[in-house]
Amino acid sequence: MSAIIDKLAAIVGERGLITDPQGKHPYLTDWRENYLGAALAVVRPASTEEVAAVVKLCAAERVAIVPQGGNTGMAGGGTPDQSGREIVLSLNRMNRILEIDPIGYTMTVEAGVVLETIQEAAAQHDRLFPLSLAAQGSCTIGGNLSTNAGGVHVLHYGNARQLVLGLEVVTPAGEVWDGLRALKKDNTGYDLRDLYLGAEGTLGIITRAVLKLWPRPKDTATAWIAVPSPEAAVALLSGAHAASEDNVTSCELMSRQGIDLVLKHIPGSVDPLAERHDWYVLMEWGSTRPRRAGDNASGLAEKMEGYLGEALEAGQVLDAAIAQNEAQARAFWALRENHSESQKREGPSIKHDISVSVSRIPAFMSEGLAAMKRVLPECRPVPFGHVGDGNLHFNCQGPPGWDKARFMTHAHAISGAVYDLVVSHGGSISAEHGIGQLKVDELAHYRSQIELDTMRTIKRALDPQNLMNPGKIIRV
């Protein structure tokens, strides 16, 4: 094996290669610490040419490749298997912003640029890159595109797939596909770009992308709202579209269980409302039209206040606070974004990243909570998420004091009950986190034969040696 290590070193140099156990370790386990793999080496190319040369070498030597960005994925897609024969190919040295075109509203970046860096660069040009998620300080755009990430602005701007125009990809043979076009319209045959988006590194390695930008909102209103039920949350959102003049940019649902975990585990967290409630909505409106100086009625906050006042009278809202400044808005957002971290600190949990149509959320919620409790009465449901997209993180925390091994003996039964219900509501078992290695069996179980056959045909055609992130998404 040292022969291939020498050849890799010749391509990426000393700085681009990690072979010592301590240096490799952070690349071999996932954010949730659910998987621990092994790898021949962690290879960190600094350019597309180096990626292509590494892939060519691996194709010749039949060494499998696990692409990795910020390693924040929730499905184990970036973690190698335990054979020690795969390499992790990290894009984290390919972190340059190559071009910003404020006139054409585009930005061209390398795959390893951290999402927050992209957001900041856009803001410096008075533009918005709307993808936004709690891991944005460490996830990379290559990972975002490869998982077709969602986040908190999907209901207004769409998910990652809708935020990209062009891609550059290194194929499993080590060739470079230059699809780095900034075109809004391009109907020249099959859409190769869409094939690589959401492919979780199983069809090729994204090395560069042309991203779409938007005008930056000039007026924002953020509210923390107690609602009596998920049904009320959905009704509140439904009316908000018109009341905000189609400016709802986020609508997140949380339960008291989740808020209690955040207050317990994240120092400095404060409940914005005086009384405890069972359900909360975090709603944000954003408009590119600035509020007019001296005109108190022109701002979004005033419009939102009026709307929430009516909803309070109608019983859709129990209490609410509208952020008075940016710091307060950030504090509301922190209560939402710290859910994952708090769940991690609390102990073992099972995550269900599901979606149903928005109008089915209330029925799914009550049936799903009952289903989890039927399987394990002591379990602690922590449902939260992007209700505006019909996407719930329908999570389940282990009973207090239970260790992971004990809780996981119930995982199959709990998840099976949840997924069967999702499917009976016409929903999806993975709305935004992907399949990775976590849900390979579930995908095989819940997708139709024709869908599985088509996916396998594509995988075999593009990656005949099965060297590109094998064992993820689908077994071939």
Rounded Cα gap, residues 149 and 172, in angstroms: 23
Does 331 bind ligand 2HG (CB under 6 A)? Our answer is no
Cα dihedral 71, 72, 78, 84, rounded to 10, equals: 60
Among positions 14-33, residues that touch ligand FAD (CB under 6 A) are 31
Question: Which residue, 147 or 207, is less far from ligand 2HG as judged by CB?
Answer: 147
Tell me which residues in 138-197 interact with ligand FAD (CB under 6 A). 139-140, 142-144, 146-147, 149-151
Picked from ligand FAD, ligand 2HG, none, the partner binding residue 393 (CB below 5 to 8 A depending on kind) is ligand 2HG
| Reduced DSSP (H G I as helix, E B as strand, rest coil) percent helix, strand, coil of the chain, to 5 | 40, 20, 40
The closest alpha carbon to 146, from 54, 77, 65, 56, belongs to 77
> By C-beta, is 151 or 286 nearer to ligand FAD?
151
Residues 283-342 within binding reach of ligand FAD (CB under 6 A): 340
Q: Does 395 bind ligand 2HG (CB under 6 A)?
A: yes
Q: CA 308 to CA 204: how far, in whole Å?
A: 48
Can you state the angle between helices 48-61 and 2-12, rounded to 10 degrees?
160
Question: Which residue lies nearer to ligand 2HG by CB, 79 or 171?
Answer: 79
Q: Which is nearer to ligand 2HG, 106 or 340 (CB)?
A: 340
Which does residue 467 bind out of ligand 2HG, ligand FAD, none, counting CB within 5 to 8 angstroms by kind? Answer: none
Choosing from 393, 410, 439, 459, the residue that interacts with ligand 2HG (CB under 6 A) is: 393
Nearer to ligand 2HG, 339 or 410 (CB): 339
User: Cα separation of 221 and 240, whole Å?
Assistant: 12
Structure tokens at 51: 């990626």
How near is the Cβ of 201 to ligand FAD at its closest, in Å? 3
User: Which of 368, 335, 363, 364 minimizes the C-alpha distance to 350?
Assistant: 368
The entry of ligand FAD, ligand 2HG, none near residue 149 (CB within 5 to 8 angstroms by kind) is: ligand FAD
Residue 221 as a binder of ligand FAD (CB under 6 A): the answer is no
Helical packing angle, 361-375 and 411-424, nearest 10°? 150
Among 38, 134, 334, 455, binds ligand 2HG (CB under 6 A): 134
Cα–Cα distances (Å) from 412 to 62, 364, 442, in that order, read 34, 19, 10
Smallest distance from ligand FAD to CB 85, Å: 17
CB of 384 to ligand 2HG, least distance (A): 7
CA–CA gap between residue 35 and residue 28 (Å, rounded):
8
Binding flag, residue 382, ligand FAD (CB under 6 A): no
Q: How far is residue 296's CA from residue 303's CA, in Å, rounded to a whole number?
A: 10
Place of tokens 């979606």: 355
C-beta nearest to ligand FAD: residue: 143
Q: Show contacts with ligand FAD in window 72-131 (CB under 6 A).
A: 72-74, 77-78, 91, 111
Cα–Cα distance for residue pair 361/352, rounded to 1 Å = 14
16 touches, from ligand 2HG, ligand FAD, none (C-beta below 5 to 8 Å by class) = none
CB 396 within 8 A of CB 352: yes
Helix (H) or strand (E) holding 193: helix 192-196
Within 400-439, the residues that bind ligand FAD by CB under 6 A are 432-433, 436
CA distance 383 to 385: 7
Sort 279 into a burial class: Cβ within 10 Å, 0-12 / 13-18 / 19+.
Answer: buried
CB of 388 to ligand 2HG, least distance (A): 12
Burial of 134 (0-12, 13-18, 19+ CB in 10 A): middle
For residue 147, the partner it binds in ligand 2HG, ligand FAD, none, with Cβ less than 5 to 8 A by kind, is ligand FAD
Distance between first and last Cα of the chain = 26
Could you say which of ligand FAD, ligand 2HG, none residue 385 binds, taking C-beta under 5 to 8 angstroms by partner kind? ligand 2HG
Q: Is 385 in the site for ligand 2HG (CB under 6 A)?
A: yes
- Do 130 and 163 meet the contact criterion of CB atoms below 8 Å apart? yes
Q: Which residue lies nearer to ligand 2HG by CB, 134 or 440?
A: 134
- What DSSP character marks residue 259? H
Interacting residue ranges for ligand FAD, rule: CB under 6 A: 31, 66-74, 77-78, 91, 111, 133-135, 139-140, 142-144, 146-147, 149-151, 200-201, 205-206, 340, 432-433, 436, 469, 472
Interacting residue ranges for ligand 2HG, rule: CB under 6 A: 134, 339-340, 351, 385, 393, 395
